[in-house]
Structure 1
Amino acid sequence: MFVKFCLMVLTLATAGAASAQSSAARVVYDSRIQTPEPRLTELERGRVKYLAGLAMEARLWDDADFRASDTCAGQDFAINGVAPGAFTVKGAQQTAYLYMYCYFRPGWSQGLVITQGNQVVAHYVFTNLVSSLYALKDINQNGFTELVLEGGFTAQGGTEGYIEIAELQPQRRLLAQFKYDNQLQPYSDNCGAVETGGIWTSQVIRVTPGKNPQFTAQKIQGKCENERVATLTGALRPLKVQPLPTGWLSAPLR
């Protein structure tokens, strides 16, 4: 009886610890943590570039104000991020590729390709300034992996950053968007505008997973000469986020 009781206590304690760990807040964004450079085979790179070329031939980046297809031949092609996860099928082993096909101002011709084994299962294109990509492990607990797209721009010596959290299933949407326009900007600096005394300001964004994920932000600040060390740390504050449509267009799969 005593042994059985001990085993029951141990089981409950382990289950409780696992539950607490699964619901613990996760870091979504911290400017001090660098996203690893993508590691690719030539086969992967060639497949993504081929799909990007098909999208350009279909003039999917063209609009009334700018015809990217008139001058873009893939001369700036690069894969800016690679992430594993289950993006369109629960439990699947898939890979997401973020690419840029041509560099333009005010936005790059970009796309997102999802593969599963040797099959391309999704391809979307958009105009943006996204420079890196990484995965989040199912923060709304619906069985699908989310993607974080991080970008920004530099003008007059200052840099402004933003991030978007996207999910592809059960519906394609942005779960959250953090940028200057909605007063949730995750990063800014004046490092190129001043010779000395420049500062960077960032927000450490965390999320507690659940059916309705809860986000918090914590302000940190430091000197431009050391982007990894914060000299000021603020208090945690809750964030309100609003799901949005991605605005992406579906593109050829083959």
Structure 2
Amino acid sequence: MTKIFPSECLFRPLFDYFLRWPISGMMNERQTLTIPKEKVERRSILKRRVYAFTLDLTLIFLVNKALHLSFMSFVDTYFFHFTNQIKSDISFNLLSIQFLTLTLVFNGYFFLSYYLNKGQSPGKIAFNLRVLPNHSTSEELSARECVTRTMSYFICWFVGFWPFALSFIRKDSKGFPDFLSNSHVCSIEELEMLASLEDSGLSATNNDLFPEDPVSIRFSRKVS
């Protein structure tokens, strides 16, 4: 149950009524909103992050495979006079550089998704997640933050994904990409709750509701 502690209020029903409206200028004392104990479970969000990244990897491999098949279709259509041996050699050489094309698709996929789509890849859109810079919950990721986060993904993928295990060890679920890119992952539900707190002019006292968001500790402010 949400508890509200007004410093100057004689009638609780009146206070509940005025709380629905902008309270700036109504009270001089600081009001404090205590977040319910039923907070968003971090492990649930971490699970959604795993599902989102798995979906992104699946799409990346599908795009890379589609490029490979498209090129082979192009060769069969416009170079039909080539012998089967030549076509086989082309296919073999294409497979030998498939790692390079996969690397380009991998990095381009995440960078363009985060930079052009406000910190959301298709996987994060599907699971209502968003990547934000550590210094703000309202600003978008910079190009540098997008590059460093993409490179951190590539490093984790290249060494076998084991650096992702850090997210399962820490209580705040922060992982290697979060530290390297100086960014964090929030759910859409968290962002909506933060926005509602800002709109009401109240402050959250349970900062552990958003352990991934270092900005949450600065949401407390006086109501003028």
What's the TM-score bracket when you normalise by the shorter of the two chains? under 0.3
Larger proportion of helix:
2
Larger proportion of strand:
1
**What is the TM-score of this pair, normalised by structure 1?**
0.22
Structure showing greater radius of gyration is 2
**What is the TM-score of this pair, normalised by structure 2?**
0.24
Select the structure with the greater relative contact order (CA < 8 A; seq sep ≥ 6). 2
